[in-house]
Structure 1
């Protein structure tokens, strides 16, 4: 059958497509901005016909209706990351969180640790050869399509076509639902003086010709804003934001000195504004690859002058980094933090740097301040990056190097970059902890 005839024969409404989901299936949703919202809405609307359907995903920017208590007999959320719309069900006890390194997710899918009955994804309009791009999300989405028993695709004519390991033939999809909607956009963060200072401190650790991994938010954008005088930077990152576009167009990022994927911005998913999606669309300077390549510590170790920059919620005197829990409450997930921290540590050129950057304090709802540098991590919190892996900790007050330092020297360095209002209190705790003068 000609691919066009096949496509036409499998095109249907979202309501018809979700009839292919059966009770007790595991449904995997495409990641982040590629979540197929029309299919998800139709699945929720059909909830009364399901019993115990497991829904798995990482970051969701949708409504997360399937995690609501009223659907707990129909859907069971089993997330590999949590977002604002999905984390409440964990606290309520009818959702589950599965700890997993980002780079391991495709392998878990391939080997059946994470079985996939149904993959629901967003794809671009088919090209003249019948191939669709998986748009802004390759990561584990590509493997979910390859491994699923049933693939349901929302064909969005506004989804970008991105080069790399991103193409799926229409013959691999069981149902198509045609839509036309802009990709979700993240509001650009406001960069205040604290973030500017953190960005400047991080930038001081980045040399010309470095390969960078950055996340999203005010701190990564602040770092990028401080790199305008650098030369020949490269990108090997699980994701990028709009700030990378600005530096690429200014010639600061040219990927010319990358040791692997030379000349290319290498990512596994995108999350930003239309400016970023338009930049990536059919751009041969950017390649998207599965997360088991991009985030594999062995691959990262091959990147020249690798510098990874991630954030956290809390750091204790020993350098233990808490990034995904607040006490016993699951807040997010490990994501790619440990993948890149370890990859940088394993750098073949021995020039890798792993930076954990954060404001020195967090302001509570009542306006009071709490130090993010603490003697002990909060009860019930989980260590994300352990004390043996941690490298640099950066706040607006400076840089503390952890590697090669004793526990006491680590604590002294961290107190030195803590907020001034907490330093005396931290010094007292230091003397109690280590039975010595500060």
Structure 2
């Protein structure tokens, strides 16, 4: 039977594809815009047909109907990372959360510690050899394919066919659904004077020939905007977005001086504009790989001069970062921050930056504190921290004593809070 015959044989409506589900199943869905909207809309509409079905995902970007506290006994979200669609449910307690390093999620699935009964994913159209690309989110989904009883793809012509280890053959697919809406666009965050100031400090410390990992957010994007005078940068990251694409178009990113996978950008998921998704399509300079490849600290750290740029919400005087909660209330998740901090620490000449505005709530609260707020989920620990950057400067903590760290952190705090921080440091016997 030809691959085209197999395709026609497996084609279903979104409602019919739900017949692949059983009560108690855990559905694995890719990161962000890799989620399949037609399938998840159909599941939402028919959610009362099922019992105890979980939809497990990092960073949902649409609030589907099953995000409903009244129907959690039928279908409920299982979060690996909170976003706008899932945060309120996580804080209220009707959405469950599995904490983990992003790089380790494929292993957790492979070992059966995270169940993967079914995969629902958005995919490119099939090529002549019977392959689809899960280019928008290879992440942990590729590991789930090997474990799942059923694989259901939503095929969309707007999804790029990227290179790398992100392909699924028609023989692996249980059912197919077709859709034609453009892939969801995710705009750039707001960049203000504080973000620009922080970005300038970081950009000044990035040398020509460095390899970049850039997280999502206003400050990382502010860094990107100030790299246009750099030369021969490379990319080994978890997320590819419009900022990286703009550096390629400007001739800044060439990947020519990478000593691990030279000539190639490497990422595990995409988040951005229609232009970005077109840029990814059959681009020989880009490979999309599972997250246990992109985020493995050993592999990423094989790049010399690896620069990792990630944000936090609160940090204490020893350098412990609360990047995923507001006190005890969950806000996001661990993601790949620790993966890349450790990768940059391993890298010859590497630099790991944690960035944050010095204050919150119109300068009424300091984000730099003597100790983290009670209940805060610690993301990057004191033993991993390297550079911390606010709009007031750069603190380098690695190899420093507690007293030295406290002085460095107070120096980059908002001036209105420095006396209070000194007093806090004295109470902790740090000064």
Q: TM-score, normalised by structure 2?
A: 0.97
Q: Distance in 1 between matches of 2:425 and 2:31?
A: 43
Cα pair distance change 1:404/1:209, threshold 3 Å: same
Unaligned runs of 5+ in 2: none
Aligned 8 A contact 1:216 1:240 in 2: no
> Which residue is 2:162 aligned to?
162
> Which residue is 2:360 aligned to?
362
Cα pair distance change 1:5/1:309, threshold 3 Å: same
Unaligned runs of 5+ in 1: none
Say if 2:390 is the partner of 1:392.
no
The alignment partner of 1:400 has SS state of: strand
Which stretch shifts more, 183-192 or 415-424?
183-192
> Which residue is 2:270 aligned to?
270
Shift of 1:104: 0.8
Cα deviation digits, residues 246-271 of structure 1 (max 9, x gap): 21111111000101110011111111
Aligned 8 A contact 1:341 1:390 in 2: yes
Aligned 8 A contact 2:266 2:287 in 1: yes
> Which residue is 2:177 aligned to?
177
Shift of 1:369: 2.1
> Which residue is 1:90 aligned to?
90
Q: Distance in 1 between matches of 2:29 and 2:76?
A: 13
Q: Distance in 2 between matches of 1:427 and 1:110?
A: 48
Q: Distance in 2 between matches of 1:360 and 1:64?
A: 35
The alignment partner of 2:78 has SS state of: strand
Aligned 8 A contact 1:235 1:265 in 2: yes
Aligned 8 A contact 2:90 2:330 in 1: yes
> Which residue is 1:241 aligned to?
241
Aligned 8 A contact 2:44 2:64 in 1: no
Which stretch shifts more, 385-394 or 406-415?
406-415
Aligned 8 A contact 1:17 1:176 in 2: yes
Report 1:21-420 matches (<5 A): 21-347=21-347, 349=348, 351-363=349-361, 367=362, 369-420=364-415
Cα deviation digits, residues 163-199 of structure 1 (max 9, x gap): 1112111111111111001111112233221111111
The alignment partner of 1:77 has SS state of: strand
Shift of 1:368: 5.7
Give the number of equivalent residue pairs. 431
Q: Distance in 2 between matches of 1:192 and 1:84?
A: 21
Q: Distance in 2 between matches of 1:221 and 1:31?
A: 20
Cα deviation digits, residues 261-318 of structure 1 (max 9, x gap): 1001111111111121111111111111110000001101211111100000000011
Q: Distance in 1 between matches of 2:363 and 2:256?
A: 47
Cα deviation digits, residues 91-126 of structure 1 (max 9, x gap): 332221111110111111112111211100011111
CA-atom RMSD in angstroms: 1.3
Q: Distance in 2 between matches of 1:191 and 1:265?
A: 25
Cα deviation digits, residues 54-104 of structure 1 (max 9, x gap): 221111001143231111110233221111111222233222111111011
Q: Distance in 2 between matches of 1:277 and 1:125?
A: 14
The alignment partner of 2:246 has SS state of: helix
Which stretch shifts more, 153-162 or 64-73?
64-73
Aligned 8 A contact 1:64 1:86 in 2: no
Q: Distance in 2 between matches of 1:292 and 1:169?
A: 21
Q: Distance in 2 between matches of 1:3 and 1:252?
A: 41
> Which residue is 1:422 aligned to?
417
Shift of 1:435: 6.9
Which stretch shifts more, 392-401 or 278-287?
278-287
Q: Distance in 2 between matches of 1:246 and 1:123?
A: 25
Q: Distance in 1 between matches of 2:117 and 2:233?
A: 42
Q: TM-score, normalised by structure 1?
A: 0.96
Q: Distance in 2 between matches of 1:93 and 1:203?
A: 40
Shift of 1:49: 1.5
Aligned 8 A contact 2:30 2:139 in 1: no
Shift of 1:53: 0.9
Cα deviation digits, residues 373-425 of structure 1 (max 9, x gap): 01111111111000011000001110000011111111111111111121122
Which stretch shifts more, 128-137 or 34-43?
128-137
Aligned 8 A contact 1:15 1:42 in 2: yes
